Amino acid sequence: MIEDAPREMWGFSGLMGAYAILGNRIGGKPATPPMWIPKRKSMWFYLSSREHYAVTSEAIESGETMSEWIRNAVRKAAKC
């Protein structure tokens, strides 16, 4: 197994190297690298500071939270 192979042959360090060397099977099961789920970004990540300010002021004027205002704006746009 992987312990028999010299460390230089692992390619990557750690488990990913073990998956690369062993190929298609580990312990009778197909070898697949562990999946990492990226952290979800907030909606403000995608807006510029100018857009953020515009959304904030529009939401305050309409008496809604920013999330509600954006949700309603998207719904209105989807109906068109």
What are the extents of the domains in the chain?
1-36, 43-79
Handedness of CA 4, 9, 12, 16 (dihedral sign): negative
Q: What is the pLDDT of residues 54-72, one digit of tens each?
A: 888 988 898 988 888 888 8
Q: Could you read off the pLDDT of 7-62 as tens digits, one per residue?
A: 555 454 555 555 455 555 556 666 566 666 677 887 778 888 898 888 889 888 98
The pTM is what? 0.41
Beta partners for residue 45, in sequence order: none
Cβ neighbours for 63, distance < 8 A, ≥ 6 positions apart: none
